[in-house]
Amino acid sequence: MFLGEYNHTLDDKGRLTVPAKYRTDLASGLVATRNPAERCLLVMPLHKWEEVAAKVNALPLADPGSAAFRRAVFSAADNLRPDKQGRILLSPRLREYAGIEDEVVIAGVYSYIELWAPYRWRERVLEPLEAGTIDAQIYAALDI
């Protein structure tokens, strides 16, 4: 389970130090790819990636939207394994897509992790929270 929000800095080679509490779940490997719904990156342990990849792969081949989604997810995917210091190397292509330069917001989203450029994190998450515009209907549907 991935929970929490962290601010980290990439080193000069584009490596990101994974938060210590996430390392055990990612030690056997992970996949990083684009999040087509947001301009951020998705990072998943291999077992979660296999579940998601199977669902994406099952989308209809003849549907142009499904084909575009499949290409966006699979063509950018990188198989990674943290090094001994708990770092992963984010490819220039993924960093460029997400607008990540030197600083990264690492957000635990239960079964996966999102990596955000700080300015996008502010725009998409923090500012809507502060403005009270996060969808109240979803919260109400949870009945908590």
The CA distance from 98 to 40, in Å, is 5
The CA distance from 102 to 131, in Å, is 28
Beta strands in the chain (DSSP E): 5-9, 15-17, 30-35, 40-45, 78-80, 87-89, 103-108, 113-116
**With 90 as the cut, is the pLDDT of residue 81 above it?**
yes
Tell me the domain boundaries of the chain. 5-142
Q: What is the pLDDT of residues 56-69, one digit of tens each?
A: 999 999 999 999 99
Say what the pLDDT of residue 12 is: 95
Contacts of 83 (CB under 8 A, 6+ apart): 15
Say what the pLDDT of residue 79 is: 96
Say what the pLDDT of residue 130 is: 85
The CA distance from 16 to 19, in Å, is 9
Task: Summarize the confidence of residues 71-97 as an average pLDDT.
Answer: 96
**Picking from 8-22, 29-43, 77-91, 123-137, which range would have the lowest pLDDT averaged per residue?**
123-137
**With 80 as the cut, is the pLDDT of residue 137 above it?**
no
Residues paired with 114 in a beta bridge: 42, 107
Q: Does domain 5-142 have CATH number 3.40.1550.20?
A: yes
Q: Tell me the average pLDDT of the chain.
A: 94
Identify which of 114, 120, 117 has the alpha carbon closest to the alpha carbon of residue 44. Answer: 114
Q: What is the pLDDT of residues 94-122, one digit of tens each?
A: 999 999 999 999 999 999 999 999 999 99
Question: Which pairing describes strands 78-80 and 5-9: parallel, antiparallel, or unpaired?
Answer: unpaired
**With 90 as the cut, is the pLDDT of residue 140 above it?**
no
